[in-house]
Amino acid sequence: MSSSGLSLHTIQRAKSKMVNTIYNILVTCFGPPPKPDETFTWEFRDSLGKFHSYPNITPISFFKDFIGYKAASHFSLINDPRHEYGKLYTVSRLNNVFGGKPIRYVNVDMATMKAAIAAMIKKDHPVFFGCDVGKFSDSKLGIMDTKLFDYKLAFDTELGLNKAERLLVGESRMTHAMTLNGVHIVDGKSVKWKVQNSWGEGSGEKGWFVMTDGWMDEYCYQAVVGPDFVSQEIRDILKQEPTALPLWDPIGALA
């Protein structure tokens, strides 16, 4: 519309109409969003079968009383070996929420990322992470393991690209997000991870996957962590001016 020479006022009116159409579609499918002061009753049975009822709850009081998750303080760690560790990055034009928090990534080695994730899990905090879920994985069995397939045996060839090279040539990127809920540690080192997926109970073990530590090293790229689970040195990186990666960069595939 802008290239056609239409005025800013005309473009803004068209945009408002489009947003209104999208809103109507969402309300038709999911119902109207709750108002801040609208009350509801939350009823459920816990794992022991005991019934609970909490009347006169508002969306805000529900969050404060039952969630308490300080989302604004959390930030993304990434592992991108193409670029220098200990630096802050963003992706050009990735910020798509007007007035929202800028998207920034602290680039760290995998040892730092895994230590932060394990620390959060030990405090019963599930961890959002981004990965390339289709590589060396079986969605029916719920297994992610770099030894799942033997390409050398089948095709007499090695897949020799490392993590950085796969990103550079477009062989890998973040394609899916899940949560990490458990870690198996032997002699102080992580061996495998418990993953909760969103593909239903027919995938994996009733929706749960197991991920080897080696798979995590190769195909995990992002984790959202709380500031209390990283060092002051890592937190200080957030004060840097971020380096902007191009808008087509694979790190921005998941946001």
| pLDDT by residue, tens only, the chain of 255 residues | 777 788 889 999 999 999 999 999 999 999 998 888 899 999 999 989 999 999 999 998 998 898 877 788 999 999 999 999 999 999 998 887 777 888 999 999 999 999 999 999 999 999 999 999 999 999 999 999 999 999 899 999 888 899 999 999 999 999 999 999 999 999 999 999 999 999 999 999 999 999 999 999 999 999 999 999 999 999 999 999 999 999 999 999 986
Computed on alpha carbons and rounded to an integer, the radius of gyration of the chain in Å comes to 22
Q: How many angstroms separate the CA atoms of 213 and 146, rounded?
A: 9
Q: What pLDDT score was predicted for residue 6?
A: 82
Reference 119, options 233, 225, 211; nearest CA is 225
116 and 223 Cβ atoms separated by less than 8 Å? yes
Strands 208-212 and 143-144: parallel
Each residue of 36-71: pLDDT tens digit? 889 999 999 998 999 999 999 999 899 889 887 778
156: left (phi over 0), alpha (psi -120 to 50) or beta: left
Distance of CA 36 to the CA centre of its chain: 27
Q: For residue 101, what are its two tokens?
A: 């928090």
Cβ–Cβ under 8 Å, residues 94 and 103: yes
Are the C-beta atoms of residues 157 and 234 closer than 8 Å to each other?
A: no
Beta bridge partners of 44: 52
Identify the CATH number of the domain defined by range 71-253.
3.90.70.10
